[in-house]
Structure 1
Amino acid sequence: MDFSGRIREFVMQHELIEKNDGIVIGVSGGADSVCLLLCLTELRKHFKLRLKAVHINHMIRGEEADRDQSFVEELCRELGVDEISVRINVPQLAKEKHLTEEEAGRNARYQTFKEVMEDSGFHKIAVAHNSDDLAETVIFNMARGSSIKGLAGIPVRRDCIIRPLLGVRRSEIEEYLKERGRSFVTDSTNLLDDYSRNSIRHTVIPALNKLNDRAVDHIAAAAEDVAEIYEMICDMADTAEIHFEEDRVKIATKSLEGLRGPVRREVYLRALEHLAGKRKDIGSVHLDSIDGLCSKENGSAADLPYGITAVKSYDNLIISGIGAGKKAKKEAEEKKDLFVEISGDGIYYTDNGEIQVKTMDYSPGTEIPSGDLVKMIDKDKVSGKILLRYPRQEDRVKISAAGYKKLGRLFTDLKVEREDRKTAPVLADDNEIIWVIGRRLSEAFKVDSSTKSVYLLEYIQKNI
């Protein structure tokens, strides 16, 4: 199978693209993003895609950055793809936000991609990570003492972001461009070892390739296995007795007995994420320091990032901080109360978006939308009220004529991050899930030859 065929197969295998999708493409002008742009352009006719390229000029490399911008603009004109170039002063932004230029640039890129996506009425963002990027991420996370979650690397899909090239090597991408006579630009900073990831790319990966020329493929395969193992660890961590308060977390040490080390560390990570609002900069050394308190005397303590402290208090671990997670926790609690009753045609609002409902007659030949956020269901198959809500533990989805699958297992199969699951909106009637919005429509409600009346549903996200 040729390169283009492999990309198409990967896209379909992971259900990354559906017909009539609107996709924002991040295009830097480098080999990976040029390849992504070309591949999606080739798939445009088959999937009836609407494409828009976005180039970010980070204002770091002077004339070289301007050269990259001009290159992308010319390439998009040639391919007939709408393009937007945005100039962002990343050095200034990094200084204002107290971030590295790498972090500030990444945050600015994704924020811009999402803004363009929303303004365009699109629902997906395609970025050009490949299997080498995945391997580099795994090695980087391993070297800095990441939790097991970090060893799973880069997901193929997360929310609106898709990665169609994650199954191919960087060398294959460059060969594909060479065969088609396509040029690309090179960011001179990628040739330096100033950044940790560049050092891994130019030193560690080549050394591993000398040991085994399929080292990157093996690391990518291992990362996929780790992702599944992490799901199992999370399920076991759910058994721990942990109580969340506004600015502290209490963990019963007895409930940790019998749990293996990786499971206990996941419990501690949940506590720290609750207080800090993020997991970044929390490494294994911090988790081990909390774990060590379990066997120490009452009153023993450990200092942790973000001003957080863990203390052994009789039969509990008390982890408390400066309340950095108060706002995030309050917002999360408010989201848990999502409960919108759909009573007929109209627009129904939530904190993060709106759902538009329209009743229509149906007859053979009526066009059925296939976008992630636009669906058509058989009105007569709905029992009782339709509710827009968040998932419940007992939820199931009919995935085939053969039967149902638990929603939690479906999320696992779709590689939905656990922290995103509780606030993933679903549409349900009195009996079961109708639509896991943006992810899966139940087979039980699809139109068929007997359908006479339908609901046309469109969910519009405001904040992603």
Structure 2
Amino acid sequence: MEQQVCAFIRRHQLIQTHATVLVGVSGGPDSIALLHFLKKFQSNWKLTLVAVTVDHQLRSGDSAEDCRFVEEICQKWDIPCVVRTVDVKKYQKEKGVSEEVAARELRYEVYQKLMFEKNADVLALGHHADDQIETMVMRMVRIATSNALKGIPVRRDLPGGEIIRPLLAVTKDNILAYLNKHQLTYRVDQTNADDTYTRNYYRKNVTPLLKAKNPNISETIQTLSETLSQDEQYLQEQAKEMVEKVVEFRENTREICFTAEAFLEFPQALQRRAFHLILNYLYGTLPRDLSYIHEVTFFDLLRRRNGSSSIDFPLRLRMTNVYGQIYLQFGHPSSTKSAHSSLLPVPGEVLLPDGRRIEATKVKEAPAENESTFVFPLDSISLPLHIRVRKAGDRMSVRGLNGSKKLKDIFIDAKIPKSQRDNWPIITDDKGIILWVAGLKKAETAQNGKGMNIKLTFSSER
């Protein structure tokens, strides 16, 4: 293991001589092996080592015992040790995040502060090759962007220095063999056996299958991660140059504009990355309810050539296309009439500006409907579907009614407040035929389709 890790450190230039290295130590096998390895090479590389361990106040006091164990190890090895306590449960409640996310965010806050306090050059963490496999596969299952497939980075910036992960060169088995060779003790987190946690499930059920098929899967995955990371870095640099050429940033305000024609001249790979760079600039911290659906609607609006139309993003960010001139700005009044318009993919869903959702699925058998669902034959309408708000003079053919009815009268009959009518979602087909005033009235559509049906679901929870 030592030779593999040393070669990995040299190849990536992770540690320089005379560096101050902050080491995150939980007491588990990975971090204990890392701390021991760095201690072993401390004099050769003339390092200053500082261990940091965090008590998350979880697991009925076990985390406090972990910290005491780390302190004892550090005292034995003559390594300064900093212990910090964080309140995960309180943070979780305040931020509305999972326990795992809360613990991670608080832990990294501690690391960041100590980087400045100790004037450290790098923070060394014990992630290993098996962690990389789990991360890559988990992201492949859940996330549709190539950027997410970079996996765990070998190094990344942290305010005050860098995070490095020297053990990505070795597997869990390598680490356990190293601990056994040097007769090192460590703590075991019992929650690691609970496969209700997503990562534990992959660790116990998926990774062993991959290793059985390819004993060298860890090297394959790490090479893939590094290659994708290098490719992504290059594409990000190109996307930044694209944004600088195309986008006009208005002074003293988070507002931008550009022409659709100039934006669409660039390759799609750069367009997608430019879109995310723009959102990062405008938002600073991306809202949690931002999804891939917003990317779909962004490019749909970008390609429209006639007239003026808008779509709304979370936190009152509006994108407007005025005959090919694109504007993104905050602060549109929520009480005024919305020009919200977007495509509804089938299957797929659209998050509306007010937090409600409309989902479209394909079903073979037509299920029973209720006021929140609408089912109709796929071959009875023209795709794609659109979601928009009402227009002056809108009428629709209402199911069960011999003729059409004004949308104004539909809202009045349903006693919908005037303040809500201008933003009420209306689903049309590609010919502009109104199919559904969501949750209120359904159109008369052909009922004898020969193939699949479309099921629309309107979630009114905000």
Following superposition, the deviation at residue 16 of structure 1 comes to: 1.5
Structure 1 position 198 matched with structure 2 position 200: yes
**Whole-Å separation in 2 of the counterparts to 1:32 and 1:280:** 34
Q: Which runs of 5+ in 1 are unaligned?
A: 324-464
Q: Which residue of structure 1 lines up, in the alignment, with residue 264 of structure 2?
A: 257
| Partner amino acid, structure 1, of 2:187 | V
SS across alignment from 1:20: coil
Following superposition, the deviation at residue 219 of structure 1 comes to: 2.1
- CA 1:73/1:189 → structure 2, altered by over 3 Å: closer, same or farther? same
Structure 1 position 314 matched with structure 2 position 323: yes
**Whole-Å separation in 1 of the counterparts to 2:197 and 2:171:** 21
Map 1:127-142; keep pairs closer than 5 Å.
127-142=125-140
Alpha carbons 1:147, 1:284 under 8 Å: kept: no
Structure 1 position 295 matched with structure 2 position 303: yes
Q: Which residue of structure 2 lines up, in the alignment, with residue 69 of structure 1?
A: 67
Q: 1:221 pairs with 199, 217, 223, which one? A: 223
Structure 1 position 8 matched with structure 2 position 16: no
Q: Which residue of structure 2 lines up, in the alignment, with residue 175 of structure 1?
A: 177
Q: TM-score, normalised by structure 2?
A: 0.64
Q: TM-score, normalised by structure 1?
A: 0.64
Structure 1 position 278 matched with structure 2 position 285: yes
Following superposition, the deviation at residue 62 of structure 1 comes to: 1.7
Map 1:322-337; keep pairs closer than 5 Å.
none
- CA 1:302/1:203 → structure 2, altered by over 3 Å: closer, same or farther? farther
Q: Which residue of structure 2 lines up, in the alignment, with residue 242 of structure 1?
A: 247
**Whole-Å separation in 2 of the counterparts to 1:89 and 1:28:** 16
Following superposition, the deviation at residue 33 of structure 1 comes to: 0.6
**Whole-Å separation in 1 of the counterparts to 2:232 and 2:118:** 36
- CA 1:179/1:276 → structure 2, altered by over 3 Å: closer, same or farther? same
**Whole-Å separation in 2 of the counterparts to 1:33 and 1:280:** 33
Alpha carbons 2:248, 2:258 under 8 Å: kept: yes
Following superposition, the deviation at residue 280 of structure 1 comes to: 7.1
Q: Which residue of structure 2 lines up, in the alignment, with residue 79 of structure 1?
A: 77
- CA 1:14/1:103 → structure 2, altered by over 3 Å: closer, same or farther? same
Map 1:50-61; keep pairs closer than 5 Å.
50-61=48-59
**Whole-Å separation in 1 of the counterparts to 2:55 and 2:5:** 28
Following superposition, the deviation at residue 279 of structure 1 comes to: 4.9
Q: 1:208 pairs with 184, 207, 210, which one? A: 210
Q: 2:38 pairs with 37, 40, 55, which one? A: 40
**Whole-Å separation in 2 of the counterparts to 1:130 and 1:70:** 24
- CA 1:185/1:307 → structure 2, altered by over 3 Å: closer, same or farther? farther
SS across alignment from 2:166: coil
Q: Which runs of 5+ in 2 are unaligned?
A: 333-462
- CA 1:262/1:49 → structure 2, altered by over 3 Å: closer, same or farther? same
Larger radius of gyration: 2
Alpha carbons 2:311, 2:320 under 8 Å: kept: yes
**Whole-Å separation in 2 of the counterparts to 1:87 and 1:171:** 31
Deviation per CA, 1:416-453: give whole Å up to 9, x if none: xxxxxxxxxxxxxxxxxxxxxxxxxxxxxxxxxxxxxx
**Whole-Å separation in 1 of the counterparts to 2:217 and 2:86:** 37
- CA 1:272/1:92 → structure 2, altered by over 3 Å: closer, same or farther? same
RMSD of Structure 2 on Structure 1 (CA): 2.3
Q: Which residue of structure 1 lines up, in the alignment, with residue 426 of structure 2?
A: none
Alpha carbons 2:242, 2:270 under 8 Å: kept: no
Following superposition, the deviation at residue 234 of structure 1 comes to: 2.3
Q: 1:186 pairs with 168, 188, 209, which one? A: 188
